[in-house]
Amino acid sequence: MRARAPLRSTVKDRPVFQKIVYSQCWEDPVVAADGLELGPDDDLLCLTSAGCNVMALSLRRPKSIVALDFSAAQNALLELKLAALRSLSWGEYVAFLGARPSSKRLARYRNRVRPELRDEVRDYFDAHPRVLARGVIHTGRFQRYLRTFRTAILPLIHGRATVEEMMSIEDPDQRARYYQESWENRRWRSLFTVFFGRAVMARLGRDPVFFQYVDQKNIGAEFLGRARWALLETDPRANHFLQYAMLGRYPDLERGPIYLRESNFEALRSSTERIRIAQGDLEGFLGTLAPGALSKLYLSDLFEWVSADHHEEMLRAIAAVTRPGGRFVYWNLLVPRSRPDSLAELIDVHPERSRELHDRDLAFVYGSFHVESVRGGEA
């Protein structure tokens, strides 16, 4: 019998991944940690992405954390954030990253952050001083796309005062009335739908490869519905994903991303010491692990990019190296992926828990959230 060819990523060599695609994560780490039931006995594999959720999950103090990405740029971003965390005070740290104003980012990079980096990461950021000067959390491809929405599209719909008011109303009933009377209009619906449609998002925000398996015709309308849910069903003052999309900033960092909160700063300095950064695709990395090497996996929206058959093979590979009862979580953006029936004897699904967590997920862009576990243990 011919040996099966090694499973490999089908997208990692796309040119888009040579630069930073995401400079901040767009998944809710609290939902992820709760779905994983992450704790001190766990060996966690976490897709790096922008690195901030790797840092947030470290606060649950798993025994070990591997941050994995096939993009050298995304891994370099995580290393930069960790170096800033360890070499700067909290005020300097959030200002250096871009969460607060600063004119000293390049000086702090040269004098205090750069010496903490490996040579290849220094080389990357030495070649991109404008990324550092702007504040690195604003410079991902997707973050630039959102900036275009805020600066070129949203002003055609609403004045700044209207946006600020929408984002400041605490009472749900009052917010619903304001949305109906002052926010929701033809320009909002039409311009939002076009800007967050397939053509514009593929050109400016993501890449055509992200849409290879998307069957939905009008994805702009789908995202419009998800944005409406976030504006009406979550408190905008406490939803930092919504704040960044609409305002481009975090008015109150204690309600901002977990890795930027002053109350977490010292704990992060110690908890992130256990993070090991690895470069490669998930498919190849899993092939290097022994059975039982992992107990938890954070997989972002990875399966969005692969075929149904590839997804099934990846789940088999995950099950082969994950301890019985071990959990993994992932999101669906536009491509419906979940454990196929063919793997029912190998992997359990937890639909009620998944729906419960998705219902309180502040990262409103995703269509579904999945908690699954390897059979043979407590799940």
Map out the domains of the chain as residue ranges.
Answer: 141-258
Alpha carbons 142 and 202: distance in angstroms, whole number: 10
Q: What is the structure's pLDDT at 15? A: 62
371 and 350 Cβ atoms separated by less than 8 Å: yes
- Bigger pLDDT: 17 or 35? 35
36 and 322 Cβ atoms separated by less than 8 Å: no
Mean pLDDT of 287-294: 96
Q: What is the structure's pLDDT at 217? A: 86
- Let me know if 214 is exposed, middle or buried by CB neighbors in 10 A (0-12, 13-18, 19+): middle
Q: What is the structure's pLDDT at 5? A: 54
Residue 13 pLDDT greater than 70, yes or no: no
At which residue do the structure tokens 């059979």 appear? 375
β-bridge mates for residue 374, sequence order: 347
Q: What is the structure's pLDDT at 3? A: 41
Per-residue pLDDT tens for 197-252? 999 988 887 778 888 899 888 999 999 999 999 999 999 999 999 999 999 999 99
Alpha carbons 99 and 138: distance in angstroms, whole number: 9
Residue 379 pLDDT greater than 60, yes or no: no
* End-to-end Cα, the chain, rounded Å: 36
Q: What is the structure's pLDDT at 376? A: 80
What does the longest C-alpha to C-alpha distance in the chain come to? 68
Note the pTM of the prediction, 2 decimals: 0.93
Q: What is the structure's pLDDT at 8? A: 63
Q: How would DSSP label each residue in 252-317? A: -GGGS-GGG-GGGHHHHHHHGGGEEEEES-HHHHHTTSPTT-EEEEE-TTGGGGS-HHHHHHHHHH
Tokens, residue 279: 């470069």
Per-residue pLDDT tens for 45-83? 999 999 999 999 999 999 999 999 999 999 999 999 999
What is the strand order of the sheet 368-374 is part of? 275-279, 64-69, 43-47, 294-298, 322-332, 368-374, 347-349
3-state secondary structure (DSSP) of residue 341:
helix
Strands 322-332 and 294-298: what pairing?
A: parallel
Per-residue pLDDT tens for 312-343? 999 999 999 999 999 999 999 999 999 999 99
Handedness of CA 195, 198, 199, 205 (dihedral sign): positive
Phi, psi (degrees; rounded to nearest 5) at 25: -75, 150
**Beta carbons within 10 angstroms of residue 177's beta carbon:** 12
Strands 347-349 and 275-279: what pairing?
A: unpaired
Q: How would DSSP label each residue in 189-257? A: HHHHHHHTSHHHIIIIIS-GGGGTT---S-HHHHHHHHHHHHHHHS-GGG-HHHHHHHHSS-S-GGGS-
